[in-house]
A and B are shown apart, each in its own frame.
Chain A
Amino acid sequence: MEGIDTQTVLQPSTGWLLLAVFGSIWIGLGIYWGRKAKNLEGFMLAGRNVGLALGAATAMATWVTSNTVMVAPSLAMRQGIWGMVAYSTACFGLLLFAPMALRIKNLIPKGYTSGDFIYKRYGRVAWGIFMTITSVYSLAWLVTMGVAGGKLIEVLTGIPYEYGMSVILFVCVAYTLFGGLFAVIGTDFIQSIIILIGVVAIGGVILSRLEMPEIYQSIETTQPALLDVFMPVALLSFFNLMFFGWGEVFHNNVWWSRAFAIRKKVVSKAFLLAGFCWFPIPIAAGFIALSAAPLGINIIDPDTTAPLVASYLLGGTGAVLVFIVVFCSLASSIDSLLAATADLLTEDVYKRLIRPQASDAELRRGASIIIIGIGLLTWAICWPKWDLLMVLYISGPLVASTIWPIVAGLFWQKSNPTASCLAMLLGSMIGLWAYFSIAWYVATLVSTVVSMLIVVIGTLIFPKPCDWRRIAGADHTQPDNG
């Protein structure tokens, strides 16, 4: 086995140059597109008229995180073919959100956030539980990406972790601040194209150096378990990852804000296309890991698999390619989370709880301050390398507990608010118990099933019809139930 010293792959000066070039491009585009955001609706929801191409690309790019290009290879190394395919099932979250997005557009055409819907549909208690879950998840997601970005830059270029992490967060905060959702969606398109081309290019180079029989024989000889048709852990994680993905997409304001922003006529198609384009990426990224053994590369930290293989095959060019792909993956998700979480806090906390009479101009200023605040909080948590990856995994059962309350809330008029509160609470608690007492790969599954049973049985026994017209109303101070 041949080890590679990744500290020497790129010079720090090259790393700084790449950060400066791409950082300037994203901030420049943020300022350029930000001129379109003339009011609050423009800043938060890009004018609610985004077309199919940008709509699909932003949904896809947001779902391609640093985890997709770094953890997918790691899963492939541990769980083989099933690990890659299991990760790909996260695309079902986007595919299933397609009809939900249309329903959201029809039900609340002037809506702003997922929290607003929960408040009106289920009342204040459910809203409180929901906001807690989504805040924990969103912060954990942001921090894991900040930490991953800092670490990757350090590994590839030798730039100290603190500097790299700070620059990535600064760039994302800056262009989100200048351009709002216009900038986020516009840059997401460019980033999604770069990510897709990068993944295909690395895969293509591997195939040009290695024959498929060579790869297969190497895996069959050294790690046959990776080709096992019946790998129980991988099969269980298949469902676990799938439900985790559903919970993440269904509840988070990142996706709801896109549903509000994309033109109604194409909103379903946009999410279907995003899921379609996203599906093969974890497999293509996982393939990079499977090729490590036949190439004779010794992988010590699975998260560095992609950079190691790419730099082995393409030298400095490969490292630059991975650097750009991961930078785009991070930026496309961090910007979306910053914008959507700021919307959520502005509308659901500042306007609802603090200043219900706030004007649009005041809310826009508030959103900007909140974007900076979230950026600073993330930066402060990332600084000591508090990697919240474990918190992100633990949030799996939390977000999964929201799947049924949201689906029932959108499509089932009689859905019971109390049952939905209990579903989120008990689903989360029992799911967490399963996480710590049984295994991580069953926790989300348990949470989903518990939540489903409570919502379905509770509503069948105690149906509580809601008035859809009140949910569609502009006044978001009055819940429909509770």
Chain B
Amino acid sequence: MTLFSENILSLIIFGALIWTALGVLILLGLLLKDYLNKQIW
């Protein structure tokens, strides 16, 4: 059985958590931008 290495597992997990956190920042940043441009709705 060929197993994924520890490095790959770390990359996937840390990558997913950082990526998810980045999503929060992007959405909040875009909301601010839309708000300043009066384009929320």
What is the interface of chain A, defined by CB distance below 8 A to chain B? Answer: 36, 46-47, 49-54, 56-57, 60, 81, 84-85, 182, 189, 192-193, 196-197, 199-200, 203-204, 207, 212-213, 215-216, 220, 224-225, 227-230, 263, 273, 276-277, 279-281, 283-284, 287
Given the interface pairs A51-B40, A220-B3, the reply to whether A200 lies near B21 with Cβ below 8 Å is: yes
Given the interface pairs A54-B34, A284-B20, the reply to whether A227 lies near B9 with Cβ below 8 Å is: yes
Contact residues in A for B33 (Cβ distance below 8 Å)? 52-53
Given the interface pairs A53-B34, A81-B12, the reply to whether A279 lies near B41 with Cβ below 8 Å is: no
Given the interface pairs A54-B40, A81-B12, A228-B1, the reply to whether A273 lies near B20 with Cβ below 8 Å is: no
Query: Dominant SS at the A interface?
Result: helix
Question: B20's contact among A36, A216, A263, A280, by CB below 8 Å, is which?
Answer: A280
Contact A284 B4 (CB under 8 A): no
A-B contact pairs, 17 of them (CB 8 A): A46-B41, A51-B39, A52-B33, A54-B41, A56-B30, A196-B27, A203-B17, A216-B6, A216-B10, A220-B3, A229-B4, A230-B2, A279-B19, A283-B16, A284-B13, A284-B20, A287-B16
Q: In the complex, how many residue pairs between chain A and chain B have their CB atoms under 8 Å apart?
A: 112
Given the interface pairs A193-B24, A279-B19, the reply to whether A52 lies near B34 with Cβ below 8 Å is: yes
Given the interface pairs A229-B3, A276-B23, the reply to whether A216 lies near B9 with Cβ below 8 Å is: yes
Given the interface pairs A81-B9, A212-B10, the reply to whether A53 lies near B16 with Cβ below 8 Å is: no
Nearest-neighbour CB distance to chain A for B17, whole angstroms, equals 5
Given the interface pairs A52-B34, A203-B17, A263-B39, the reply to whether A277 lies near B3 with Cβ below 8 Å is: no
Contact A227 B39 (CB under 8 A): no
A270: nearest chain-B partner, CB-CB: B30
Chain B, interface residues (CB within 8 Å), range: 20 to 34
Contact residues in A for B17 (Cβ distance below 8 Å)? 200, 203-204, 207, 280, 284, 287
What is the interface of chain B, defined by CB distance below 8 A to chain A? Answer: 1-4, 6, 8-10, 12-13, 15-17, 19-21, 23-24, 26-28, 30-31, 33-34, 39-41
Contact residues in B for A50 (Cβ distance below 8 Å)? 41
Contact residues in B for A225 (Cβ distance below 8 Å)? 1
B15: nearest chain-A partner, CB-CB: A280
Nearest-neighbour CB distance to chain B for A42, whole angstroms, equals 10
Bound form: Cα–Cα A276–B12 in Å: 15
Contact B20 A196 (CB under 8 A): yes
Contact residues in A for B12 (Cβ distance below 8 Å)? 81, 84-85, 283
Contact residues in B for A224 (Cβ distance below 8 Å)? 1, 3
Contact A203 B13 (CB under 8 A): yes
Minimum-distance CB pairs A-B, first 3: A277-B23, A283-B16, A53-B30
Bound form: Cα–Cα A46–B40 in Å: 11
Bound form: Cα–Cα A343–B2 in Å: 50
Nearest-neighbour CB distance to chain B for A334, whole angstroms, equals 21
Bound form: Cα–Cα A220–B16 in Å: 21
Contact residues in A for B24 (Cβ distance below 8 Å)? 193, 196-197, 200
Contact residues in B for A280 (Cβ distance below 8 Å)? 15-17, 19-20, 23
Bound form: Cα–Cα A221–B40 in Å: 51
Bound form: Cα–Cα A49–B39 in Å: 8
Bound form: Cα–Cα A212–B13 in Å: 9
